Amino acid sequence: MKLYSYFRSSAAYRVRIALNLKGLDYEYVPVHLLRDGGEQLKPDYRAVNPDGIVPALVDGDDVLTQSLAIIEYLEETHPEPPLLPKDPSDRAFVRAVAMQIACEIHPLDNLRVLKYLKHEVKIDEDAKNAWYRHWVETGFETLEKRLASDKRVGKLTFGDTPTVADLCLVPQVFNARRFKIDTSQYPTIERIADHACSIEAFAKAAPAQQPDAE
């Protein structure tokens, strides 16, 4: 398998954790999101993934896109160890946590949105940072309440073994800290993310450990 990735991309980070947890070897192909207007928008990469976003996972003849669709695919093709619980209601809980991050927080704060705000809406650096913080804080506030009150939460989002929820949580916490958001306001989220980061599959997937890290 071949993963088109950028060290700091949250969505790629999620997939790297999944591949590590499943014990799957892969070739890392860096796509620099900032260099030269963005390598992801160039014909070379568009030939692989016309969407012009990372990650893309190439598995045989298949080019898979969208991090959560890729992770569900890995779960179906390499079921061990599972990244989702067995019971449908528990699976829905885990997927809802993952999607709260992937659909409510991350899309608003990713690079192309921040670029549009700067260049098209022409907001200044302070307004951009306020925007970033607003969506992380709005999302983390409700997520913290959910995680603090749900009995299924253990050392990680669902008990003590990693699920797709943790795969989304860790990169989002990483991003929040990079933008100087005080994550101690969200003690359950912080505790889960810090515990997850102590697991080798998560640690190896961290941005600083990637071949294209700067």
Q: Which phi and psi (to 5°) does residue 55 adopt?
A: -90, 165
Q: Does residue 111 touch a copy of itself according to CB under 8 A?
A: no
Q: Does residue 176 touch a copy of itself according to CB under 8 A?
A: no
Q: Which of 14, 16, 22, 95 binds a copy of itself (CB under 8 A)?
A: 95
DSSP-derived 3-state class of residue 65: strand
Q: Radius of gyration (Cα) for the chain, nearest Å?
A: 17
Nearer residue to a copy of itself within complex by CB, 40 or 210:
40
Q: Which of 23, 34, 81, 103 binds a copy of itself (CB under 8 A)?
A: 103
Residues 45-74 as x/- pattern, contact with a copy of itself by CB under 8 A? -----xxxx--------x-xxx-xxx-xx-
- Interatomic CA distance for residues 97 and 92, integer angstroms: 9
Nearer residue to a copy of itself within complex by CB, 59 or 212:
59
For the bound state, the minimum distance from the C-beta of residue 206 to a copy of itself, rounded and expressed in Å, comes to: 22
CB 5 within 8 A of CB 55: yes
DSSP-derived 3-state class of residue 62: strand
The tokens describing 17, both together, are: 């954790």
Contacts of 143 (CB under 8 A, 6+ apart): 97, 100, 101, 186, 189
For the bound state, the minimum distance from the C-beta of residue 117 to a copy of itself, rounded and expressed in Å, comes to: 8
CB 166 within 8 A of CB 192: yes
Q: Does residue 79 touch a copy of itself according to CB under 8 A?
A: no
For the bound state, the minimum distance from the C-beta of residue 60 to a copy of itself, rounded and expressed in Å, comes to: 9
For the bound state, the minimum distance from the C-beta of residue 71 to a copy of itself, rounded and expressed in Å, comes to: 10
Burial class (CB in 10 A: 0-12, 13-18, 19+), 49: buried
Q: Tell me the window of 26-34, 84-92, 151-159, 185-193 that interacts with a copy of itself (CB under 8 A).
A: 84-92
Q: Which residues pair with 3 in a beta bridge?
A: 28, 57
- Interatomic CA distance for residues 83 and 167, integer angstroms: 9
Nearer residue to a copy of itself within complex by CB, 102 or 201:
102
> What angle do helix axes 111-119 and 125-149 make, rounded to 10 degrees?
150
Q: Which residues bind a copy of itself (CB under 8 A)?
A: 50-53, 62, 64-66, 68-70, 72-73, 76-77, 88-89, 91-92, 95-96, 98-100, 102-104, 106-108, 113, 116-117, 120-121, 123, 127, 130-131, 134, 142, 145-146
